[in-house]
Structure 1
Amino acid sequence: MVASQRAVPLRLHGALLFLTALLLFAALDATAKYLSAFLAVPLLVWARYLVHLLIMLVAVAPSMGRRIIATERPWLMGLRGLTLVAVTLLGQLALKSMPLAETTALIFVAPLLVALLAAPLLGEQVRLRTWLATVAGFAGVLLIARPGGSLAGAGVFYALGAALSYAAYQILTRKLAATEHPMRLLFYTALLGTLAMSPALPLHWHGAWPTPGQVLLIVSLGVYGGVGHFLLIRAFRETPASLLAPLVYSQLLWATLLGWLVFDQFPDAPAMAGMLVIGASGLSLAIGSRR
């Protein structure tokens, strides 16, 4: 009984950490969308991972030493890191031409894709609930990216590409989580993101330096990403993933609010309906998995 009572504050604390991380991710997206009007997206992605890497080198690497890079599965670690780079790059390209809320909703198709891909890649059973939720989720996509709507076709393509990459990232994370230290997973994403995007510097930087205000915002991208992922790790240590999964769709609320406050963009009725359908479909899968 006492242990159960102690678990309740821990679970609540984990949930608060999780919600804070999602707010940071929404803030990262909003900041990247704002900066993309002034700077090339590949430069922003490179800076985001570089700052994240520096944080890891200063705050984590000294205590872990070689353990932060020692892995028996380097190819899977590398592939996982590159899929997250693809998520960031494609997601920010989508944000450059589309509203924040709609872009976030389209990327949140990823859990539905994970549920389908888990059967051939992880050997998990795909139930009828999964098929129904997936069909409903893609119906929500059609409501958001409907023919004749105001969204840019290229932006929709980038967002769905980010969703597919995010699904691959989540599946690879499942494969690696049992054998890899969480901080090692976090370090590899920062390292590979920096290395992968460094060749883009001479192609997209033409010598114009950002203003001091823009520099602060660029640094904040890495802070949002690094701190957000760290809070996720802490949240999952204190609260079962099955309890946290339904909360992930609160990021849609943050994205909608920030899109309205910062960019004066609010989804129209069909897009809002599509976002609700995608959110409900994902919640159905999360609650079903918890049961």
Structure 2
Amino acid sequence: MASPQAAALTVAMMVGVAFLNAADAVIVRALAGQVHPFMIGFFRAAFGLMFMLPWILRRVDMAASPYRGLHVVRAGLKLMSLIALFIAYQRAPLPDVTAIVFSLPLFVMLGAWLFLAERLDGAKLVALALGLAGMGIVIQPGGQGFDPMLALALAGAALTASIQLILKRMGQRDTSDRLVAWNLACMTVLGLGLAAMVWQTPTGWQLALLLAQGGLGVLNQALVTHALRLSDASFVGPLDFIRLPAVALLAWLFFDQTATAATWIGAALILLGVVVAARGAHRRAG
């Protein structure tokens, strides 16, 4: 159990993470129709690698990794997940996309059951039912408010879940430093190949936004990592819900988008599912 001071610092960090994520979504939306999602994916990886390169050169022995091919697969999946989310952010309401992304832990749990033979107990089944109900309320399949672009948000969450399942295996024999370094390097190379197909040289302002996005990604990762060192994942995970009010606020300020009641209700059900799953995991670990 974290101390009150550590808990307060964790909350402050996750508030920062929420607004960093919201700023990232705003940048992607602002670039809609100007910079292709393939190019955004490339610059996101390239600028992230640029920010991290001094640290990688000093501390990471990339040649020692036992997972050369798997690094490429993971980077490809990560790039696909980012591009899917970028397209969703550009074409669907930002709060709705954010609400759907909250389903990521539930996809991880489902994938662990399907591919890693992990058991689905009562808590997990309740969590999945709540998550599916929440996603249905946000997406409204078959309804007048249905936005097909939200399917890309679901795809992005599912792809990210597959990456986390792969990392469960890779983390057993590789270091976190090498995993980060290899992922950035491979994503940059793969992203360049995609960007070359649709290349249009960004303007100075567009390049500044893309550079800021790369920096936001690195800072976001650092804050989440530090928060997880201070507090249990079961405490940190639900704090990710702060991202929805942050995104809703910036979406309203910059694009005059308003989160609907369905978005808040659906997101709350998804969050409740994530909390139920986390509490169940905590009890089993105890």
Stretch of structure 1 that moved more, 198-207 or 187-196: 198-207
Q: TM-score, normalised by structure 2?
A: 0.89
Distance 2:106 2:282 in 1: 15
Distance 2:275 2:250 in 1: 22
Distance 1:196 1:171 in 2: 21
- The answer to whether 1:150 aligns with 2:160 is no
> Unaligned regions of 5+ residues in structure 1, if any?
none
Measured against aligned partners, the alpha-carbon deviations of 1:2-57 in whole angstroms (never above 9, x if no partner) come to xx89x553454344334423332222122112112321111111111100011111
Alpha-carbon shift at residue 151 of structure 1 (Å) = 4.4
- The answer to whether 1:20 aligns with 2:8 is no
- The answer to whether 1:64 aligns with 2:88 is no
Of residues 192, 203, 226 in structure 2, which corresponds to 1:234? 226
Aligned-residue Cα RMSD (Å) equals 2.2
- The answer to whether 1:115 aligns with 2:109 is yes
What percentage of residue pairs aligned between the two structures are identical?
22
> 2:228 is paired with a residue of what secondary structure?
helix
Counterpart residue identity of residue 27, structure 2: T
Change (3 A) 1:73 1:206: closer
Q: TM-score, normalised by structure 1?
A: 0.88
Stretch of structure 1 that moved more, 12-21 or 244-253: 12-21
Counterpart residue identity of residue 144, structure 2: G
Of residues 120, 132, 137 in structure 1, which corresponds to 2:131? 137
Change (3 A) 1:16 1:123: farther
Stretch of structure 1 that moved more, 160-169 or 228-237: 228-237
Counterpart residue identity of residue 153, structure 2: A
Contact 1:82 1:189 in 2 (8 A): no
Alpha-carbon shift at residue 198 of structure 1 (Å) = 0.7
- The answer to whether 1:125 aligns with 2:116 is no
Alpha-carbon shift at residue 230 of structure 1 (Å) = 2.0
- The answer to whether 1:218 aligns with 2:210 is yes
Counterpart residue identity of residue 63, structure 1: R
Distance 2:275 2:244 in 1: 12
Alpha-carbon shift at residue 246 of structure 1 (Å) = 2.0
Counterpart residue identity of residue 149, structure 1: Q
Change (3 A) 1:151 1:92: farther
Distance 1:15 1:251 in 2: 12
- The answer to whether 1:97 aligns with 2:87 is no
Alpha-carbon shift at residue 71 of structure 1 (Å) = 0.9
Contact 1:45 1:197 in 2 (8 A): yes
- Number of equivalenced pairs: 282
Aligned to 1:9: 5
Distance 1:190 1:116 in 2: 27
Change (3 A) 1:20 1:178: farther
Counterpart residue identity of residue 30, structure 2: Y
Alpha-carbon shift at residue 156 of structure 1 (Å) = 1.9
Distance 2:209 2:89 in 1: 16
Distance 1:238 1:276 in 2: 25
Aligned to 1:195: 189
> 1:89 is paired with a residue of what secondary structure?
helix
> Unaligned regions of 5+ residues in structure 2, if any?
none
